Amino acid sequence: MNDALDRELSIRTVDATPYAASLVEGHRDFGYSLDTALADIIDNAITAGSKSIKLMADTVAEEPWIALADDGCGMEESELVEAMRLGSKNPLDKRNRHDLGRFGLGLKSASFSQCRKLTVLTKRNEKISCARWDLDRIAHCNDWSLELIDNPQTLPSYDLLGSQGTVVVWEVLDRMNGGYANDRVKRAEYMNGELTRAERHLRLVFHRFLEGTKPRVRLSLNGRELKPIDPMASTHPATQKDPDDFLKLKHGDVRVRCYTLPHHNRMTSDQWDEVGGPEGHLKTQGLYVYREDRLIIAGGWLGLTRQTELTKLCRIAVDIPNTMDSEWKIDVKKASAQLPPLVRERLKTVIERFVGTSKRTYRAKGQRLVDETRFPLWSRLQIDGKIVFRPNMEHPLLTAYTEQLSDALREGFERCIRLVGAGLPIEALHAEIAGNAEEIAADKVNERDLREFIHTLALTLTDNGVPKSELPDVLKSNPFLKARWESAEPILNDLLKAD
Ligand SMILES: Nc1ncnc2c1ncn2[C@@H]1O[C@H](COP(=O)(O)OP(=O)(O)O)[C@@H](O)[C@H]1O
Ligand SMILES: [Mg+2]
């Protein structure tokens, strides 16, 4: 609206201060999980200049609690009160260069996502201050009065406070009991599981801070030091790193570095699993976006290209400064961002070139990038602790066909395949296999279909640098062909002769 128009309007104002009780409950649901919530509290500790950050958790106590103690700059009482305020800093204000914060909300909303009682103990210039938000109290009084505790010496977490620094304590962990509010053993099991997942997340998100013989920061969980997980495996001798690329933009420079991970037989299986994580390498290929060295996006191509078996070793580190927050739409929990259109365009070119070179590299060396199983028709995945078999949409047989379809037809076709996959009669199979495994067979394939299958697969493989002489061996390792090699071999021989 313009001012002139406003002046003509007759405007009254009434007080519409939000109700504390309902607003604060809303703050619990920004979408944090334990791992992103802890990461946000650690951001604060790092920004405060901490060298050592200790995460302590008592999951077996009658009233479980989690505490994060740092040796950073600490706060005076007035600063503590500001820190506890919801929206203590305006996201439009300029931040210090290495500040990992953004909205002035993290401490509160991350904590409230997990607990109903947040206590912060802090020490600066020999003075100790302590403040607490108790959501039950806010719900009851419906106001924003913060509790200040003048004798924190009696709190159990008091001992975690060093000569200077801050301790953040979460109690009444109502979101972390896994539904086992009254079963202490089950509840502890659930919480320990969550903490194990969070541990991996923290080792990954803060890996750049934890690296080296003299790391910038030491992080421990119940006294055990957490070692970094470098998603680029950049210190591995077989990792290939391309030269840095810089995108110069109005609000700062974006640095882009492309890495190709070593093939899995050049790493120990522990290293391979650590870098791939529970989701595996196919899902974790892609872009790794760092904001001031802190990882905010871990893998995926953000819609710029597809995750394929052939590119699963490709990872690109993208470094952005905190001056670009609004363009990148960094969210409150710092777990997502969107590429600004200009960056999108430039990155797309980088990705195309990189993915292209990486395929050529393999061609030149004749090295194998794809798994030994070579394009299985069914992928075996682990999802939520269960093994799932799913038709492999990346299979050349399917992609070669879907590429010829219009968007609408492709969607329909892919849906049909997905549904056939989801309809795999697991129970019936299970019952049959338990009874008479030898009597069960996969359906027969007619000669024409088999020929089509072999042609498509052979073409994709040669396109990706597999020499013709290796085709019989490689194709034989494909489970589908292996099972019918007697019929497949002559078809392949014909094909090789015809070339
Ligand atoms: N561990 C800490 N040590 C010192 N100061 C802290 C700590 N945690 C939070 N603060 C102060 O509280 C403020 C608010 O924190 P937070 O709610 O996470 O918002 P943001 O990090 O976006 O500024 C910070 O800007 C900082 O001044
Ligand atoms: Mg913060």
pLDDT digits (tens, 9 = 90+) for 14-27: 989 888 888 888 88
108 and 150: one domain?
yes
| 101 CA → ligand 1 middle, Å | 7
Q: What pLDDT does residue 423 have?
A: 92
| 246 CA → ligand 1 middle, Å | 31
Which of 107, 129, 146 has most ligand 1 atoms within 8 Å of CB, for mutation?
107
Ligand 1 neighbours by CB, cut-off 6 Å:
44-45, 48, 70, 72-73, 75, 83, 88-89, 101-108, 166
Residues near ion ligand 2 (Cβ under 5 Å): 43-44, 101, 106
How would you classify the pairing of strands 165-171 and 117-124?
A: antiparallel
399 and 467: one domain?
yes
**Residue 346 included in any domain:** yes
Q: How far apart are CA 285 and CA 369, in angstroms?
A: 13
361 and 382: one domain?
no
Q: What pLDDT does residue 469 have?
A: 87
Average pLDDT (493-497) is 90
**Residue 32 included in any domain:** yes
| 142 CA → ligand 2 middle, Å | 25
87 and 207: one domain?
yes
Our count of domains for the chain comes to: 3
351 and 384: one domain?
no
Which of 47, 133, 167 has most ligand 1 atoms within 8 Å of CB, for mutation?
47
144 and 30: one domain?
yes
* CATH number, domain with residue 322: 3.30.230
**Could you tell me which of 182, 109, 122 has the C-alpha nearest to residue 155?**
122
Which ligand 1 atom lies nearest to the CA of residue 70?
Answer: 1
| 89 CA → ligand 1 middle, Å | 9
Grouping H, G, I as helix, E, B as strand and the rest as coil, residue 130 is strand
The length of the chain, given as a count of residues: 499
Considering every ligand atom, which ligand is closest to the CA of 322? Answer: 1
Task: Tell me the CA distances in angstroms from 409 to 370, 397, 406, 412, one per residue in order.
Answer: 29, 16, 5, 5
Which of 171, 199, 225 terminates a domain? The answer is 225
| 295 CA → ligand 1 middle, Å | 19
Q: Where are the alpha helices (DSSP H) in 212-340?
A: 269-276, 281-284, 325-328
Q: Whose CA is closest to atom 7 on ligand 1?
A: 44
Q: Whose CA is closest to atom 11 on ligand 1?
A: 83
| 52 CA → ligand 1 middle, Å | 17
**Residue 4 included in any domain:** no
Q: What pLDDT does residue 101 have?
A: 67
Which of 338, 365, 392 terminates a domain? The answer is 365
Q: What pLDDT does residue 365 have?
A: 43
Q: What is the pLDDT of residues 439-472, one digit of tens each?
A: 778 888 999 999 999 998 888 888 777 888 888 8
Q: Whose CA is closest to atom 6 on ligand 1?
A: 44
Q: Whose CA is closest to atom 12 on ligand 1?
A: 83
358 and 383: one domain?
no
| 292 CA → ligand 2 middle, Å | 13
**Residue 12 included in any domain:** no
* CATH number, domain with residue 67: 3.30.565.10
Q: What pLDDT does residue 177 have?
A: 87
pLDDT at 378 over 90: no
Phi-psi region of 49 (alpha: psi -120 to 50; beta: other; left: phi over 0): left
Q: How far apart are CA 491 and CA 499, in angstroms?
A: 13
Structural domain containing residue 399: 378-498
**Could you tell me which of 319, 324, 289, 320 has the C-alpha nearest to residue 304?**
289
- Computed on alpha carbons and rounded to an integer, the radius of gyration of the chain in Å comes to 28
280 and 346: one domain?
yes
Which of 365, 390, 406 terminates a domain? The answer is 365
Q: What pLDDT does residue 58 have?
A: 96
207 and 299: one domain?
no
Q: What pLDDT does residue 115 have?
A: 96
* 202-216, 274-288, 333-347, 350-364: least confident range: 350-364
37 and 92: one domain?
yes
The two structure tokens encoding residue 68: 């994060």
Q: Phi and psi for 408 in degrees, rounded to 5?
A: -65, -45
**Residue 232 included in any domain:** no
pLDDT at 312 over 90: no
Q: What is the pLDDT of residues 152-183, one digit of tens each?
A: 999 989 999 999 999 999 999 999 988 888 89
159 and 205: one domain?
yes
pLDDT at 274 over 50: yes
Q: What is the pLDDT of residues 418-439, one digit of tens each?
A: 999 999 998 888 887 777 767 7
**Are 32 and 41 a contacting pair, CB within 8 Å?**
no
Q: What's 470's DSSP letter?
A: G
129 and 183: one domain?
yes
| 174 CA → ligand 1 middle, Å | 24
